[in-house]
Structure 1
Amino acid sequence: MDALSPSWTALGVTGSALGVRSMILDSLKLNWDSITPTFLPSILERTLPGNLVPLVGSLDLEALLSILENEGTALGTVPSTPIAATLLDADSEGDRRAILGRRLPTIIDDCDEVAHRITTGPLASAAQHLSQALAAARSGHPEAAQALLGNVLDTALRRVWTKRERDLRTSRAEKNSPTTERFMEDTLPQAVALLPVWAAYAPYQSDKNGLIPHRFNRHATAHSAGSRRQYNRRNTAQAALVASSVLAYLHAEARV
């Protein structure tokens, strides 16, 4: 494994890769700051997606990982650096969601750049549909866009991952608990790209009269058409970001 992409395990993390952010940060501090106080920023500059690199000097890594995992707003590769900075600087999830709604047109453009860069390989057709979904949002049809974006995300995962890999990243079943070795071996780039996927696949069963999620949710998008709680500009922005971020990451992977 590239020394510039250390795994959580290599940093001394022995618990679940989800929900132990303070442990991860403690491990980073103990392992890297003991070598040189400037080592962590240099590692982040080499491992984070390009849109986040200009923010390394002021980046709160714990806040970043919390937003990705708990709020499901992807920040890797997209959105552009200014919007990413605004989202990271916001005081609350409510403020961040308001920003997503207001900045939807710019987020659409940022995500469309990703779609147009993926012209070959197994994700090329998914990228075309990503661009079509973004065009629908740009034309004033965010609900239609959100529905297609959910399918684009699902298709991308199925196109490049085995069922076991998908289950490990999306299923809450006990046998697929993220205490598995795969999550423990995640690098920082993997975590940035894939934690929002975990959030997007949070459990929701419409036939059990559960409360419809207010964040973008793959299951609720598929089974709660017409719900303004699920279908709205903010969730369209979230769907565009997670689909684009995942496509960019998977396309860059050597196995793709």
Structure 2
Amino acid sequence: MNDEDAPGAEDGGEGFGREAGPRQTRGAGSDLPGILEQFRQTSAWLTSVDKALEPARRHIRMMESARRTVESVMGPGTVYQVALDAQRQYRAVTEPVLALQSSLSDIYDWHSRINDVVRSVSLPRALLERLAATAALFLPANLGGLDTEELRTILEMGGDDGLSLAWAPRTGIVKALLPLGTRQERYALLAERRDDVLDDIDASLRIVTHPELTGMVAILSAATRTARAGFGEGAQALAGNVLESAMSRHGNAWIRRSFPQVAYPSRAGHHGTIGSALDDAEDWGDLTLLQFKHYLVVAGMRNAFGPGATQDTFNRHLGAHQASPDTYRPEFVLPAILLAHALLRALNQDLERPGDDEDNA
């Protein structure tokens, strides 16, 4: 519910509860003590109104905050009915205030009415149910149900092994990677489950439908087919080009939008932008719920765009400019495809679609 749509918004916003004040019952010729007493009673009335309305304001702020959280992850269409429920709750509070005839003799009756309304205000049940349902949307579906330490391990694998495990592979494969102690063991498990990993990536890519990404989806799908056919070098090259294209066209801007609190270098390349975002957070526990998913995607990309002449994980720059058997290795194929896939999935959620208005962006 936009602020301008709130009942009474045109009459003064947050001050809606103060429009109807006590009418003066004394004439212009009243003595000074009477005027002072009237002023004292009016001040006491305003104080009581303010105290009575504060729980209502708090509930309204909670409902609006919850609405915005749900809308940001599910879109406004899915919460339309919930918005109507919240609006009805809003009106239940404001209408008695706006309709109040403010004679001092009515204060106690009105105070009783508003207290009854305040006690009745609560988050709509439908909204609570939707909030519970959307909690999983703060994480990619394949990582649902993982505990804090498991999520931390996945982030460490991103930084150490250049793996982005967001949205693929399936939960069972992710959990099988967690207890493994070395990068070689984790790469070996992915290779052993290659077809399952590629199946999961292909299924996930079908969700990427933004018109500015579908061309890159087609090339990354070609990379998965090339990998299945046993041509690892070709699959790695295709995935590396998709990753570079996605970062150049949209990725850097997406990272800056996702982590606006970061001070980025004025002319940062891919590595500088990624590194600035990761270094600023230091501990992922400081991130917001919505930022965590983005951090999860970015964590695996630092090595892919890192400098240096050699590297033990997939490096897009070395593959493009120093092609050799050392930079094209069988164990780099799936990490490269997973990285490009995770970035496309993240961009698909973030990019504004043609025809979207500002409220749906």
TM over 0.5: yes
Aligned-residue Cα RMSD (Å) equals 3.2
Q: 1:198 is aligned with what amino acid?
A: R
Distance in 2 of aligned mates of 1:116 and 1:177: 29
Q: How does 1:95-106 map to 2 (within 5 A)?
A: 95-106=185-196
Aligned to 1:197: 301
Find 1:223's aligned residue among 304, 308, 321: 321
Q: 1:75 is aligned with what amino acid?
A: L
Distance in 1 of aligned mates of 2:323 and 2:211: 32
Aligned to 1:111: 201
Distance in 2 of aligned mates of 1:77 and 1:200: 19
Distance in 2 of aligned mates of 1:78 and 1:243: 11
TM-score (norm. length: structure 1): 0.70
Query: Counterpart of 2:142 in 1: which secondary structure?
Result: coil
Distance in 1 of aligned mates of 2:269 and 2:295: 11
Query: Conserved in 2, the CA contact under 8 Å of 1:71 and 1:93?
Result: yes
Distance in 2 of aligned mates of 1:177 and 1:107: 28
Q: How does 1:37-56 map to 2 (within 5 A)?
A: 45-54=136-145, 56=146
Are residues 1:149 and 2:249 paired? no
Computing the radius of gyration over CA atoms, which structure comes out larger, 1 or 2? 2
TM-score (norm. length: structure 2): 0.51
The higher-RCO structure (CA 8 Å, 6+ apart) is 1
Cα distance change, pair 95–252 in 1 and its aligned pair in 2 (3 A):
same
Total equivalences in the alignment: 209
Aligned to 2:74: none
Query: Conserved in 2, the CA contact under 8 Å of 1:51 and 1:80?
Result: yes
Query: Conserved in 1, the CA contact under 8 Å of 2:278 and 2:295?
Result: no
Distance in 2 of aligned mates of 1:197 and 1:147: 16
Query: Counterpart of 1:91 in 2: which secondary structure?
Result: coil
Distance in 1 of aligned mates of 2:253 and 2:179: 37
Aligned to 1:236: 333
- Bigger proportion of residues as helix: 2
Distance in 2 of aligned mates of 1:45 and 1:164: 22
Of the structure 1 ranges 218-227 and 70-79, higher mean CA displacement relative to structure 2 is found in: 218-227
Aligned to 1:38: none
Distance in 2 of aligned mates of 1:81 and 1:176: 30
Cα distance change, pair 233–46 in 1 and its aligned pair in 2 (3 A):
same
Structure 2, gaps ≥5 residues long = 1-64, 71-132, 257-266, 354-361
Cα distance change, pair 87–142 in 1 and its aligned pair in 2 (3 A):
same
